Structure 1
Amino acid sequence: MHAMNRQSTSNLTVSADPENSAESSAVAQARAALSPSMVRRAIFSSVLGNGLEWFDFLIYAYFSKTIAQVFFPAGSGFLSIMLALATFAIGFVVRPFGGILLGLYADRMGRSRALSLIIISMAVSTLLMGLTPGYAHIGLAAPALIVFARVLQGLSVGGQFATASAMLVEYAPPGRKMYYGSFNMTAQSFALLLSSGTGYLLTTHLTHAQLVAWGWRVPFLCGALAGPIGFYIRHRVAESPEFVELRAHESRAPRTTLRQFCRDNGRAALCAMGVIAVGAATNYVWHSYMAVYVERQLHLPLAVALRGAFFCGVLNLFLFPLSGKLADRFGAYRLFYPVTIAWMVCAYPLFVYVVSAPSAERLFVAQVISTVFLAAMSGAHPGMLATLFPVRSRSSGVAISYNIAVTLFGGLAPFTITGLTRMSGSSLTPAFYLIFAGLFSLVLVYGTRRGHARADGERHPSTRNSAA
């Protein structure tokens, strides 16, 4: 037990300071050998893969009401939408398993190979979603195929965020790990921009009958086309310098079992879950769930929510990198605590503001405010998570902790909030959900980091800002 605590503390101490020691000459040489075009390809391929993941997930959420009609006809609209949201949640339930398998594969065989495998699997699952006939044509086989596609997609994306984050951080020069990692979040904002824009065009230019018949399929079919493009680009990306150094110093590829990971990285994984929880809840409540909330609770057109989401996607293209830069300058955890507390204070009044007099203008204001908070909380997440774990277990560490937190507080959010709102009858349920997620994050991060952040700063005064 003491050995476990010592090892976890060691990992956490390293992670608290992304640059706790001078960069090794091997890593510096490997990084120097990379051409600017190779670095750009590494960033672009990571952004493309993560963007495709989020595009597919958001499109499903935006068209969940239509998908419910096509694949899950039931006696009541509520039951139909709950079945569709449950299928949405299934993809998240299997994500930790995919994260474990693909994370271990990436730590053993390399980031580049894992990312190539992931993007092809994602493209196949997306294509299946777009081509499956409806319930009226093939009966129960239709929802069965949709569930299978969601499972395959969930397994694939389980390792996407983690491996892409590891790749970006390991490509980053000293002092810019949070900034480079923030491009993984920028991919999500690009996906939000693309999916909301596509959804808005389809819902405003097609009739309801056209949307149900074929319109909702268009985004999935277009998303599948990005798979071959992403595979081609990733195939031309060199392995990360830090992973190359790890392999150079070890006679064989590292083997890490799940039990060994829990023993060595348990505390760091808990810290990572705390970091992610509040951001995941905010992201899914204001982006994925909002499509359902606007129509069922606010009784506003879906196009109203999509317009706001589109603008927020544009805004985040700039806010996420800015957040990463600020985290590199002042310290990621020094920003994490005050921003999370401020968001908890604002979440309830923001929903009251919208619910008390629902309108397109009020909803837009609330979406913009939530987006600013989300960027401030989440811009540094990839860098924070990646630097919590050593190179040999980085992908698996980020994958396990990220996917568990996102499943519990993000993927299940639409299903959970819809059910709680039905039972309570309160339109303010999402606000209480966000406050709970914020409290969970603060307690878990503080509990796993307590007593170590100060020691890091004292031991490495030259990197005090990064150690925050």
Structure 2
Amino acid sequence: MQSALHAVMPDTDVRPMSRSQVRRAVLASVIGNGLEWFDFLIYGYFAKTISQVFFPVGNGFWSLTLTLATFAIGFVVRPLGGIVIGACADRYGRRKTLSLLILLMALSTLMMGLTPGYATLGIAAPILVLIARILQGLSVGGEFATAAAMLTEYAPPGRKMFFGSFQMTSQAVALLLSSMCAFLLTSRLSHDALLSWGWRVPFLLGALVGPIGFYIRHKIAESPEFEHLRERLGHAPRQSLRVFFRERGDAALCAMGVIIVGAATNYLWHSYMPLYVEHQLHLPLKNALFGTAVSGLIGIAGYPLAGRLADRFGAYRLFFPVTIVWVCAAYPLFAWVLAAPTPERVFAAQMMATVVLSLMSGAHPGMLTQLFPTATRSTGVALSYNVAVTLFGGLAPLTVSTLIDVTGSRLVPAWYLIFAGIVSLLLVGLTASGRRLRRQPDLWLGEGV
């Protein structure tokens, strides 16, 4: 880790950063992403409880469906947030944008934790929850892309994928903390206490991160690559969406292909799995939460390892074998769990899925930023990432839950993962950007491209 933090930039015109500056940039970049994931995961873990607090419609299925739909709405607005905030980050800088985003995320998280239930406010309660989810969706629309751009633009030569992997590591930390928090609350509190106030505790704790994150982000220096570009141009970078789609449309499709299979896997195995275990396998929620916490520990080590492997062998060369293995393993893994649903089998399946996911997703931030030049990097990553995550990640719990109810098959998650994997392979394999990066794994689109 120490050697990785030498801030030697590939272009001698770019001012070198000190080791402490790089450390602060890494921390500032990942803290907001961790808060985003903490909130999203907590919402999924307590979906059943939230449905009883805000959507007591008298029908368990529709109550839960409305809760998952509210979960999904945060993703529906993400592409809009990605376009607007990504454009701001590309024009005004990464640091200012990241500072604004952490405050907006903290506000939406606080709203979730403080909004009274339906019994107190009536219809205003679910409306306020919906507003909170929309605000969060808009903010996180630009969070991943801007933070990933900051990380990789601070990275020294040959370390882009490794530095980018810290963005995924922050998700693993959030996974560990959120699942442990949910595990402790569901294990220690009675059902009435959990329904009354217990589920709110994680949201209130998450909101406390906001002011700390703002302070850290406000103190860091601007990305050296962005500063160099702005000095070379003599003004803030500008590019219209029409020009972007014409020149970078192929790269955006490739980026979506990279993300789709990882997003589907992440949201099914980490966000939806506790709900699946409780409703479909009829096992205690705490069993799934314990496995999710261990998955977070594995990810903390697995994502940086995947980043190192990608730097050494080429991320786009590793993408295909890992994705193909996962497509082939998804059905047998779910079938094995369903053949005899036990906590032990669920735990084993979670561990296998986490190992594959770590290898698959550790290099994703670096892979996406590698596809776009500095002038449009945040816009390109935000647009492609959010479209892919919205369609195949955020909507996954609602889609899978509905399909299970319609078809009666508990193997729907496996088919969903297989479909997502095939779409990813096709998009990356058929785009010119994907083919070029397989041939030239060290290609990096700098500010002059």
Partner in structure 2 of residue 233 of structure 1: 216
The residue type paired with residue 228 of structure 2 is E
Alignment of 1:93-112 (within 5 A): 93-112=76-95
Match of 2:71 in 1: 88
Q: From the superposition, tell whether residues 273 and 454 of structure 1 become closer, same or farther in structure 2 (CA, over 3 Å).
A: closer
Q: What residue ranges of structure 2 are gaps of 5+ in the alignment?
A: 1-8
TM-score under structure 2 length normalisation: 0.95
Residue among 38, 57, 64 paired with 2:21: 38
> Structure 1 residue aligned with 2:242, among 259, 284, 296?
259
For 1:228 and 1:73, locate their aligned partners in 2 and report how far apart those are by CA, in whole Å: 34
Specify the SS of the correspondent of 1:238: coil
What letter corresponds to residue 120 of structure 2 in structure 1? H
| Separation (CA, whole Å) in 1 of partners of 2:206 and 2:310 | 32
Distance 1:232 1:432, change over 3 A: same
CA contact 1:329–1:465 (8 Å) conserved in 2: no
* 2:4 counterpart residue number: none
Q: Is the 8 A contact 1:168 1:180 kept in 2?
A: yes
> Secondary structure, in 3 states, of the residue corresponding to 2:158?
coil
SS of the residue 1:289 aligns to: helix
Structure 1 segment 409-428 matched on structure 2, within 5 A: 409-428=392-411
* Cross-structure match for 1:73: 56
Amino acid paired to 1:231: F
**Structure 1 outlier segments of 4+, above 4 Å:** 463-466
Task: Please state if 1:377 is matched with 2:364.
Answer: no
1:35, distance to aligned residue in structure 2 (A): 1.8
Say if 1:393 and 1:464 are closer, same or farther in 2 by CA, change over 3 A: closer
| Structure 1 residues 32-70: Cα deviation after superposition (integer angstroms, max 9, x where no partner) | 2x2211111110111111000000000000000000000
Residue from 327, 339, 350 that aligns with 1:356: 339
Query: TM (normalized to structure 1)?
Result: 0.91
The match for 1:26 is 13
Q: Could you tell me which residue of structure 1 aligns to residue 5 of structure 2?
A: none
Q: Is 1:287 equivalent to 2:274 in the alignment?
A: no
Shift of 1:456: 4.8
Query: Who is 1:5 aligned against?
Result: none
Cross-structure match for 2:299: 316
- Choose which of 120, 125, 141 in structure 2 pairs with 1:142: 125
Given the alignment, which residue of 158, 170, 189 partners 1:175? 158
Cα deviations across residues 263-313 of structure 1 (Å, max 9, x unaligned)? 111000000000000000000000111121011100001100000000010
1:119 aligned residue: 102
Q: SS of the residue aligned with 1:312?
A: helix
Aligned equivalents of 1:258 and 1:155: distance in 2?
18
Q: Cα offset for 1:452?
A: 4.2
| Aligned position for 2:183 | 200
1:433 is aligned to 2:416: yes
Q: What residue in structure 1 maps to residue 425 of structure 2?
A: 442
Residue in structure 2 matching 1:250, options 198, 217, 233: 233
CA contact (8 A) 1:328 1:465 kept: no
Distance in 1 of aligned mates of 2:75 and 2:443 = 37
Match among 317, 323, 333 for residue 334 of structure 1: 317
Q: Distance in 2 between matches of 1:355 and 1:332?
A: 34
Tell me how far apart the structure 1 counterparts of residues 217 and 242 of structure 2 sit (CA, whole Å): 31
Q: State the alpha-carbon separation in 2 of the partners of residues 294 and 464 from structure 1.
A: 43
Alpha-carbon offset, residue 416 of structure 1: 0.2
RMSD of aligned alpha carbons: 1.5
- Deviation at 1:455? 8.9
Q: Give the number of the structure with larger relative contact order, counting CA–CA contacts within 8 Å between residues 6 or more apart.
A: 1
Q: Which amino acid aligns with 2:306?
A: S
Give the conservation status (yes or no) of the 8 Å contact 1:331–1:465.
no
Helix, strand or coil at the partner of 2:13? helix
The answer to whether the 8 Å contact 2:250/2:433 transfers is no
Alignment of 1:399-414 (within 5 A): 399-414=382-397
- Residue 334 of structure 1 aligns with an amino acid whose one-letter code is R
Cα distance in 1 for partners of 2:310, 2:330 equals 23
Structure 2 distance, partners of 1:389, 1:450, is 10
Cα shift at 1:75 = 2.1
- Opposite residue 109 of structure 2, the aligned amino acid is T
Letter in 2 for 1:100: I
Quote the Cα distance in structure 2 between the aligned partners of 1:229 and 1:262.
37
The 3 A distance-change label for structure 1 pair 254 and 293 is: same
Q: Which residue, 278, 287, 292 being the options, matches 1:304?
A: 287
Q: Separation in 1 of the partners of 2:213 and 2:238? A: 28
**In the alignment, residue 89 of structure 2 is paired with which amino acid?**
A
- Once the two structures are superposed, residues 310-340 of structure 1 have per-residue CA deviations (whole angstroms, 9 ceiling, x without a partner) of 0010111000000000000001011100000
Q: What amino acid sits opposite 1:23 in the alignment?
A: P
User: Structure 2: how far apart are the matches of 1:117 and 1:44?
Assistant: 16
Distance apart, 1:255 and its partner CA: 1.8
Partner residue, 1:7: none
Is this contact kept in 1: 2:370–2:443, CA < 8 A? no
